[in-house]
Amino acid sequence: MAIGAANEAKVPLNCLAIALGRNLKGTIFGGIKTKSELPIILDKCKNKQLQVDQLLTHQVMLEDLDEAIRLLKQPDCVKVLLKIY
């Protein structure tokens, strides 16, 4: 099994590792330079805490992956959580 990556490349996916408790994490245009940009972001946050939970805007079951991709293209979508159980 493979998952998509930039420029339609494929990245191998180890299903057994995920079934045994590993995490699958991804991002689209969400990377930051942690050494130079994270301190700036934290400086603007209240009490130096980044409220990551507030960025979650949608939760979708893995079976509805097409819906998750559609949601990511919407202007009100910040982060989609894919549920695999």
Token reading at 66: 């097409």
19-38: average pLDDT: 69
Token reading at 5: 């990556």
Tell me the C-alpha distance between 69 and 35, whole Å: 30
* Domains of the chain by residue range: 2-83
Question: Which amino acid, residue 77?
Answer: C
Write the CA distances from 72 to 19, 46, 47, 68, integer angstroms: 26, 27, 30, 6
Sign of the torsion formed by the C-alpha atoms of 81, 23, 12 and 28: positive
The pLDDT, as a whole number, for residue 58 is 92
pTM: 0.44
